[in-house]
Structure 1
Amino acid sequence: MNNEIQEKLEKLAIMKSIPFCVGCYREAPTGFCPSCGSDDLAKFVRGEGMGWGTDWIIRSIVESELTPVNVDAAFENLIRSCYEENVSVLWMTLDAVTVAKEMDPVSWDIAKSEWLSQEEEEGIVKTFDNGASYFWCHELEKLLDAE
């Protein structure tokens, strides 16, 4: 599934870009520079810039069209749905998530990281910036279907 999404995103990036000759600094929509004949062309996207490859175009499309996953909230909601009961500590009644986060924040962060890694491995979320942000794959699929 992840490879299929990646392939579709690469096709979309190519469709949204224009081949560009860096040496002559001009667009080459046919795939060959009209001035020098070169086929060693970069990609140009109006309003975004010019560069090699498609990763930067994909990142730009995804970041402009979708909202990144709020990893903290998503993980917290998952854990709350699994552990709905409250915990009594002396005279206080607290929910289990609050207790876990406050009493052992290191363990909480490790569990969240492991969950996120598993979600990525299963193709539920995808990152385009080495883990700085994640996007739901079902939202990526909707975006690709709309294009």
Structure 2
Amino acid sequence: MTGEGRLPHRTLLAWTCDSDLPTRRARQLLRPALRSLGATEDLVEDGVLMATEAVANATLHADGPYLLRLRHSSFEALIEVHDRTLYRPRLAPAETHLPHQKDDPDTHGRGLLIIHRLSQGCWGFRTYPGHKVCWFAIPLEGSRADNPSG
């Protein structure tokens, strides 16, 4: 998405490392927001899962306070998680697999891989003085993802 800085945003959630259950609140707030924009139910659930991963990663690995923001155009929703750490995590090697079992001891470190796969590579980080933004995009109804010619 180009020009995302010019799109209006809506802050859905602000939290700190002491906040109770920020991932649950993020899911509760993002789900209806994406539905209101016309995202299909599958994409709503993908967006919620990606946001859950990004919120959890920020809370565990970065300094707060944190923000969950939603921007959108007519063809995609851009979900952002802001934190106060400038370090930009890297995607695990391509051969890394997603765990198949809930109790798999190797379940940590897969958040970015989940975001990468569900967003079909439309994600990244931006840094600004004093903070970082993890972002990912999902297509909205009638978007270019639904129209092979455009």
TM-score range, shorter chain: under 0.3
Length-normalised TM-score, structure 2: 0.24
Q: Which has the larger radius of gyration?
A: 1
Greater helix share, structure number:
1
Instruction: Using CA pairs under 8 Å that are at least 6 residues apart, name the structure with larger relative contact order, 1 or 2.
Output: 2
Greater strand share, structure number:
2
Length-normalised TM-score, structure 1: 0.25
